[in-house]
Amino acid sequence: MDAAFVDGFDRIVDDALKQLLAIPDDAASRCPAPGKWSPKEIVGHLIDSAVNNQARFVRAQLQEDLVFPGYDQDAWVRAQRYHERRWHELVEAWRTYNRQVAAIMRATPADVANRPRAKHNLDEIAFQAPPAVATLDFLMRDYVAHLQHHLRQISAARSGRS
């Protein structure tokens, strides 16, 4: 995996960590609108995403395809009751999981990350539409785009733009 990309991912996590920890616990508990996740639930969802993608990134190095199970994101958030957790603990867990994801990205050889995979289900599990040639590199970059999307949601909710 491209070292500059992973370094940039580390910076995204570092910058977001400071911004997230500045949010008071009570504000992190508030939903921006009915049916929308609170910042606690969004960060919880990002933890779930990190867990699932950590496994995908490792498995992709050991198998020929990019076929992975999906998961019911809303059910995972509800089952783990993130809205009841302490904010700083959720943010620290999010940071730790993303450090692990970054380590896996760094350890992934370029030829493995860029190997075309004919069989995949990225159209079902990826955040963005997959390219014509599916690669682990795309899935890793897609993971970061997904994370950034949700960090922007938290920022928008804080500034009243939800």
- Between the CA of residue 60 and those of 72, 106, 120, what are the distances in Å? 21, 14, 10
H or E, element range at 106: helix 87-107
pLDDT, average across residues 3-18: 97
pTM equals 0.94
> For residue 159, what pLDDT is reported?
67
Contact 56, 138 (CB under 8 A): no
* Residue 93 scores a pLDDT above 60: yes
**Does position 157 have pLDDT exceeding 90, yes or no?**
no
Whether the pLDDT of residue 158 is over 90: the answer is no
Q: What is the rounded CA–CA span in Å between residue 113 and residue 124? A: 20
Instruction: Give the tokens for residue 122.
Output: 């990225």
- Does 161 score more than 90 pLDDT? no
- pLDDT, residue 22, reads 96
CATH 1.20.120.450 fits 3-158, yes or no: yes
The tokens 């692990």 sit on which residue? Answer: 100
CA distance 112 to 23: 39
pLDDT per residue as tens digits for the range 17-51: 999 999 999 999 999 889 899 999 999 999 999 99
pLDDT tens column, 105-147: 999 999 999 999 999 999 999 999 999 999 999 999 999 999 9
